[in-house]
Structure 1
Amino acid sequence: MPGPNEYFNVPLSRVAIGNHDEFRQPGAVKAAVAEFISTLIFVFAGSGSGIAYNKLTGNGPSSPPGLIAASIAHAFGLFVAVAVGANISGGHVNPAVTFGLFVGGNITLFRGILYIIAQLLGSVVACLLLSFTTGGLEIPAFALSGVSVWSAFVFEIVMTFGLVYTVYATAVDPKKGEIGVVAPIAIGFIVGANILAGGAFTGASMNPAVSFGPALVSFTWTHHWVYWAGPLVGGGLAGIVYEVFFINHSHEPLSEF
Structure 2
Amino acid sequence: MNEDTFNTTGTERGRACHRIRRFLSWCNCQSIMVAFKGIWTKDFWRAVSGEYLATLIFVLLGLGSTINWAAEQEKPPPADLVLISLCFGLSIATMVQSFGHISGGHINPAVTAAMVVTRKLSLAKALFYVVAQCLGAITGAGIVYLVTPAAVRGSLGVTMVNSNISLGHALLVELLITFELVFTIFATCDPKRTDLNGSASLAIGVAVVIGHLFAIPYTGASMNPARSFGPAMITLNFENHWVYWVGPILGGILAAGLYEYLYCPDPEIKKRLKQVFQKDSSGKYREVETDDVAIRPGSIQTIDLEKTGKKGPFQDSTGEVLSSV
* TM-score bracket relative to the smaller structure: 0.7 to 0.9
Shift of 1:117: 0.8
Query: In 2 relative to 1, CA 30–177 (structure 1 residues): closer, same or farther, beyond 3 Å?
Result: farther
For these two proteins, the number of residue pairs brought into alignment is: 237
**Contact map agreement 1:161 1:234 (CA 8 A) in 2:** yes
**Does structure 1 residue 169 correspond to structure 2 residue 183?**
no
Match of 1:240 in 2: 257
**Contact map agreement 2:297 2:321 (CA 8 A) in 1:** no
**Contact map agreement 1:75 1:192 (CA 8 A) in 2:** yes
RMSD: 2.0
Counterparts of 1:91 and 1:19, CA distance in 2: 22
**Equivalent residue for 1:31, pick from 47, 52, 58:** 47
The correspondence of residues 106-125 of structure 1 with structure 2, limited to 5 A, is: 106-125=120-139
Shift of 1:54: 5.7
For the residue of structure 1 that corresponds to 2:101, the secondary structure is: coil
Query: In 2 relative to 1, CA 60–32 (structure 1 residues): closer, same or farther, beyond 3 Å?
Result: farther
**Equivalent residue for 1:135, pick from 111, 134, 149:** 149
Query: In 2 relative to 1, CA 247–220 (structure 1 residues): closer, same or farther, beyond 3 Å?
Result: same
* Overall identity of the aligned pairs, in %: 33
**Does structure 1 residue 77 correspond to structure 2 residue 77?**
no
Shift of 1:135: 3.5
Match of 1:3 in 2: none
Q: TM-score under structure 2 normalisation? A: 0.69
Match of 2:321 in 1: 256
Match of 1:4 in 2: none
Which blocks of at least 5 consecutive residues in structure 1 are unaligned?
1-15
The correspondence of residues 222-233 of structure 1 with structure 2, limited to 5 A, is: 222-233=239-250
Larger Rg: 1 or 2? 2
For the residue of structure 1 that corresponds to 2:199, the secondary structure is: helix
Amino acid at match of 1:176: R
Counterparts of 2:227 and 2:126, CA distance in 1: 17
Q: TM-score under structure 1 normalisation? A: 0.86
Query: In 2 relative to 1, CA 177–53 (structure 1 residues): closer, same or farther, beyond 3 Å?
Result: farther
Query: In 2 relative to 1, CA 41–249 (structure 1 residues): closer, same or farther, beyond 3 Å?
Result: farther
**Contact map agreement 2:175 2:250 (CA 8 A) in 1:** yes
Q: Taking CA–CA contacts closer than 8 Å with sequence separation of 6 or more, which of the two structures ends up with the larger relative contact order?
A: 1
Match of 2:207 in 1: 190
Q: Which runs of 4+ in 1 moved over 3 A?
A: 52-61
Amino acid at match of 2:183: Y
